[in-house]
Chain A
Amino acid sequence: MTNERNGDAIVAESFLDVRAKLLEVAATLDRIDRACQSETLQEAAQSKRDLLGEATKILLSDAPNRAEQLQQLFSREYDADWREQFGFTAN
């Protein structure tokens, strides 16, 4: 199914909303950096900060499924052997 609206219309109606969201992201990253001038991030926070950096790279790509890729980036891995690890016997 394709969206009935064309790209021009979507850009026009979403521009201010996306602009505001990007500004929030930019200001948050600035805020983190300012706080890090006095002390560096702990390991757990640093790995989260790194994920945010990875996420912005996905946004810059031309992939058709950027939302799905972000979801995957923020997800724990699936291990098909989970049943064995739990001691379950698969049918």
Chain B
Amino acid sequence: MDYIDPHIHMVSRTTDDYATLARMGCVAMSEPAFWAGYDRGSVDGFRDYFRQLTETEPARAAQYGIQHFTWLCINAKEAENVSLSREVIAMIPEFLDKPNVLGIGEIGLNKNTKNEATIFLEHLDLAAKYGQSILIHTPHLEDKYQGTRMILDMLCDDQRLDPDRVLVDHVEEHTISEVLDRGFWGGMTLYPVTKCTPERAVDMIEQTGGERLLANSAGDWGPSKPTAVPDLIFEMRRRSLPESLIRKVVYDNPLEFFSKSKQFNFTPRG
């Protein structure tokens, strides 16, 4: 089955991974900007990273017939450096017209601090001013519930933002209802230890019906599995769930959400 991974960090993966994903049916992916494992020292470090996301990765993906899209921001972890964050936010518009850019992301909270919230709000302002869709990172483990609620508070405070153009990622059993009930899209991240297994993700699909729900691998430089979405497809088939529902979660929903970005230009496999 053709599928789309809406959240995967290919800058951290090898070309072999592109080949494997292509063989497993991945036809498109979106890569949000994130933390590199170390704090970057200057705005030029981010400018180079955004060139990698908008030039290098799409070319690398295209060699395997995969269409690569991206989201730009300074991540919540580096948002503790408020002055650098503001320089990066001011520089982002240089890249918003690049053909594979879908919007602003993954912005959010990490430890739910004041600086993170300040920079999150400034990203929301940027997205509103430039009419961009938004991809949101919610914190992990004990910080997830509190951070998700704070993020939803800030999103709902801003009347300029349309919930239908916001994907709130890394939802789990205790955050999924609030995200979907308030009209946002929800992303389930299949990631060892800190997030969600394919089995639990399928439980959530069964309980919600899969409306406005996406699944991703968040494959990155940490312990993660870039082929996690095919694992989810396999688990859904094992439970005899309808192919139409599988396709909805791994293909139709990402397409529908991405289509809200004016630059999204996708060619389905003929």
In the complex, what residues of A have CB within 8 A of residue B200's CB?
A: 67
List the B residue with the shortest CB-CB distance to A74. Answer: B142
Interface contact A71-B172, CB-CB below 8 Å = yes
Query: How near does chain B come to A43, taking the closest CB pair, in angstroms?
Result: 17
In the complex, what residues of A have CB within 8 A of residue B209's CB?
A: 1
Binding stretch for chain A, among B128-136, B146-154, B217-225, B256-264:
B146-154
Query: How near does chain B come to A50, taking the closest CB pair, in angstroms?
Result: 14
Q: Which of the residues A1, A67, A71, A78 comes within 8 Å of B150, measured between beta carbons?
A: A78
**Does A37 make an interface contact (CB < 8 A)?**
no
Indicate with 1 or 0, residue by residue over A5-40, a CB within 8 angstroms of chain B CB atoms: 100000000000000000000000000000000000
Interface contact A76-B240, CB-CB below 8 Å = no
Interface contact A5-B206, CB-CB below 8 Å = no
Interface contact A1-B174, CB-CB below 8 Å = no
List the A residue with the shortest CB-CB distance to B142. Answer: A76
Query: How near does chain B come to A60, taking the closest CB pair, in angstroms?
Result: 18
Interface contact A76-B157, CB-CB below 8 Å = no
Q: Which of the residues A5, A72, A79, A90 comes within 8 Å of B157, measured between beta carbons?
A: A90
Interface contact A68-B173, CB-CB below 8 Å = yes
Interface contact A4-B142, CB-CB below 8 Å = no
Interface contact A67-B206, CB-CB below 8 Å = no
In the complex, what residues of A have CB within 8 A of residue B114's CB?
A: 86-87
* A75 CA / B209 CA spacing, docked (Å): 26
List the B residue with the shortest CB-CB distance to A75. Answer: B145
Q: Which of the residues A2, A75, A88 comes within 8 Å of B206, measured between beta carbons?
A: A2
* A80 CA / B158 CA spacing, docked (Å): 17
In the complex, what residues of B have CB within 8 A of residue A82's CB?
A: 112, 150, 153
Closest 7 CB pairs of A and B: A71-B174, A75-B145, A78-B149, A68-B173, A86-B114, A67-B173, A78-B146
Measuring CB to CB, which residues of chain B are less than 8 angstroms from any residue of chain A?
112, 114, 117, 141-146, 149-150, 153, 157-159, 172-174, 200, 203, 205-210, 239-241, 245
Instruction: List, sorted by A's number, 16 A–B pairs whose CB atoms are closer than 8 Å.
Output: A1-B210, A1-B245, A3-B206, A4-B240, A4-B241, A67-B200, A68-B173, A71-B145, A72-B145, A74-B142, A75-B145, A76-B112, A76-B142, A76-B145, A78-B149, A88-B117
